[in-house]
Amino acid sequence: MKKQPLLYSLVLILILWQISTWIVHKNFLPSPALTGQYMVIHFSLLIKHMSVSLYRILVAIVITVILGSTVGILTARSEVLDRVVTPLLYTLYPVPKIAFLPLLMLLLGLGDASKITLVALILFFQIVISVRDSVKAIHPSYFIAIKSLGAKSSHIYRHVIVPAILPALFTSLRISVGTSISVLFFAENFATQYGIGFFIMDSWLKLDYAAMFAGIVTISFMGSALFGLLDWTESKLCRWVPKG
């Protein structure tokens, strides 16, 4: 991310926040300074909660990238599988996955597994559809070119399909990470005492608004860090994509 525009955005947000504090003038909207003070004093606590949330999302991303990409690639490469899987995808995709949380907790318990699975479900459909479409969009000349070099099937996956889908995969991840954080925030309100979602709601219930806003700022940093990580990973894995 470019540093100067980011700095300007942060400064603008802080200014608007401070102006809102003056206008609203209620204790449930603490000032940036008060929130910042809380964050400094309770830095390690916030990091602990953020780490748990980050762990849940990253595990969900890794599992979904592997599973979702595999299903997407196989669906695109096989007409039979496409006819079976695609209607299922289109039927299940619009269903709000949050509704599955109680079922997941019954099946997988009250620990991280149910929360990670919920986030993974959100990401899965995005990635499968995005990967499937990008495989189908690979120009046939690439397959002809690699076969003309004597490639076997495994070579085609390694040298053509996987690299070709990477830009679309990263785009899909960027789109779905925002929703995933929101869903995780919701899921961390059930049967857990760790995670930034839990921290925010717990602070609200205790009427500790400085802590609540500290949690909100932390979740925002976490999201930014995730986007930054995705951008960095894409810059390493997709060096051929023109920047800007």
- Which residues would be at the binding site for another protein (CB under 8 A)? 141-142, 144-151, 155, 159-160, 163-164, 166, 238-240, 242
Residues in the chain, overall count:
244
Query: Which residue lies nearer to another protein by CB, 26 or 239?
Result: 239
Please, what is the minimum distance in Å from the beta carbon of residue 101 to another protein?
A: 39
Nearer to another protein (CB atom), residue 123 or residue 165: 165
Quick one: 81 or 216, whose CB is closer to another protein?
81
CB of 67: closest distance to another protein in angstroms? 23
8 A C-beta contact, residue 49 and residue 196: yes
Q: How far is the CB of 238 from another protein (least distance, A)?
A: 7
Shortest separation between residue 237's beta carbon and another protein, angstroms: 9
Q: Which residue's CB is nearer to another protein, number 5 or number 242?
A: 242
Say how far apart CA 124 and CA 118 lie, in whole Å: 10
- Residues 121, 60: Cα–Cα separation, whole Å: 9
How far is it, in rounded angstroms, from Cα 207 to Cα 25?
16
For residue 195, is it left (φ>0), alpha (ψ between -120 and 50) or beta? Answer: left
DSSP sequence for 135-158: HHTS-HHHHHHHHHTT--HHHHII
